[in-house]
């Protein structure tokens, strides 16, 4: 299997066919619709989102999202959590940046604009995870911790897990201060006296270090800043940036 990822492009979202063959649906949206968690009740926004997803052919039902805090907390999503964080901050899963579940037809999602959404699927034990990974989360080994949680909860073997990286700020555009050399010495590019962080390389290294074959890691290769016409980028747009939704679901 190639490490590049063949994406299926649709109106308003991309799907990841590699997971389809495992009976798992994995999708990330584009900037056609801001999917940020809403601060207060907004019936109009709910209706708009529902209509857009219905048109996409993936009804926005039983989505569960966390309040993301750039740390390394992981929550196991149960039946009773259905709908939490579907629209609002107020009922979102507690401060966590990764969700895992083995419940069918339940979408678990994260919202991003530059941070890396990581899709994880196990075709054998039929369990899934979604991770919101920025540099802080990566520094706290959030993806590795998510793998460990899947091992504990669902008895998965890391060798059986498949990964996909959604759109994120890539090393072409991720300029950082020199202090990053100390945090991620092996994942910094130096170009004309400037430093660029390769979040994807660091994520990849941590995942393979946890026992996942490198051929099981697929990458959309989309840079949110280079492809800002299609994706939100916090780096490019600042506070005005909306959020893409990435979710995964066992069919």
State the residues that interact with Zn ion by CB under 5 A. 170, 172-173, 223, 225-226
Q: How far is CA 60 from the centre of its chain?
A: 17
Please report how close the Cβ of residue 236 comes to Zn ion at its closest, in angstroms: 10
CA 69/CA 115 separation, integer angstroms: 12
Return d(Cα 64, Cα 77) in angstroms, integer: 8
Q: How far apart are CA 78 and CA 92, in angstroms?
A: 13
Closest approach, Cβ 230 to Zn ion, in A, equals: 12
**Residues 210 and 147: beta-carbon distance below 8 Å:** yes
Question: For Zn ion, which is the closer residue by CB, 146 or 225?
Answer: 225
Q: How far is the CB of 198 from Zn ion (least distance, A)?
A: 11
Rounded least distance, CB 137 to Zn ion, Å: 20
Nearer to Zn ion, 1 or 172 (CB): 172
Torsion of CA 168, 53, 108, 124, to 10 degrees: -100
d(CA 233, CA 114): 5
In the complex, least distance from residue 131 CB atom to Zn ion, rounded to whole angstroms? 21
Judged by CB, which is closer to Zn ion: 86, or 173? 173
> What DSSP string runs through 223-243?
BTTTTTTTS--HHHHGGG---
Identity of the residue, 162 or 174, whose beta carbon is nearer to Zn ion in the bound complex: 174
* Residue 151 parent element (H or E): helix 142-154
Q: How far is the CB of 238 from Zn ion (least distance, A)?
A: 17
Phi, psi of 95 (to 5 degrees): -50, 95
Q: Which is nearer to Zn ion, 147 or 169 (CB)?
A: 169
Residue 80 structure tokens: 């009773």
37 or 200, CB closer to Zn ion?
200
Comparing CB distances to Zn ion, the nearer of 43 and 229 is 229
Which ranges constitute the DSSP H helices of 4-141? 17-20, 43-56, 135-139
Cβ at position 173, least distance to Zn ion in Å: 3
């Amino acid at each position: 299997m190639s490490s590049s990822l063949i994406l299926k492009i649709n109106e308003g979202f991309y799907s990841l066919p590699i997971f389809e063959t495992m009976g798992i649906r994995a999708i990330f949206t584009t900037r056609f619709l801001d999917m940020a968690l809403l601060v207060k009740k907004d019936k109009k926004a709910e209706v708009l989102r529902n209509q857009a997803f219905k048109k996409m052919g993936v009804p926005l039902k039983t989505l569960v999202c966390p309040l993301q805090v750039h740390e390394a907390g992981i929550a196991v999503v149960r039946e009773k959590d259905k709908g939490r964080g579907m629209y609002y901050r107020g009922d979102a899963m507690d401060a966590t940046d990764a969700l895992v579940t083995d419940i069918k037809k339940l979408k678990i999602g994260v919202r991003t604009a530059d941070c890396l959404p990581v899709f994880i699927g196990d075709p054998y034990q039929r369990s899934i995870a979604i991770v919101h990974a920025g540099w802080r989360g990566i520094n706290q080994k959030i993806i590795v911790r998510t793998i460990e949680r899947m091992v504990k909860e669902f008895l998965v073997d890391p060798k059986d897990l498949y990964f996909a990286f959604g759109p994120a700020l890539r090393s072409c555009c991720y300029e950082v201060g020199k202090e990053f050399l100390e945090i991620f010495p092996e994942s910094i590019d130096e170009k004309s006296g400037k430093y660029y962080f390769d979040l994807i390389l660091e994520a990849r290294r941590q995942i393979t270090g946890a026992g996942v074959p490198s051929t099981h890691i697929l990458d959309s290769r989309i840079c949110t800043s280079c492809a800002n016409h299609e994706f939100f980028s916090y780096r490019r747009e600042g506070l005005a940036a909306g959020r893409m939704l990435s979710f995964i679901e066992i069919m």
